Structure 1
Amino acid sequence: MKIDAWLLDVLACPNCRGALRPDAEELVCTGECGKVYPVTAEGVPVLLVDEARAPGA
């Protein structure tokens, strides 16, 4: 997965507003909630809290 650095600079976790970091095919919140958001096969992040999974799940 390739997400441009400028896009990561403007994206934030919709749950806690923490920064997001890429990890495999997901974006992981580095803030207090730690939620993990999926990225589609086309490279589009799905930043819906209902679609995110809890850390370690």
Structure 2
Amino acid sequence: MTAVFLQRAGIAWPPRWADAVPLAEYLSYRVGTYLLLNVVEDPAWLAWAFC
């Protein structure tokens, strides 16, 4: 399932697990940036989280 998601995103599945570590770091950076910009910056999410 993960390989299909990566292929749709235009990312090739790494041939070795050692090559997958930088890919995982990159993807986690992208997901973290998305969450920071779209969830934390949204006032509605902040109101929901702290009320």
Q: What TM-score results when the alignment is normalised by the length of structure 2?
A: 0.27
* Greater fraction of residues in helix: 2
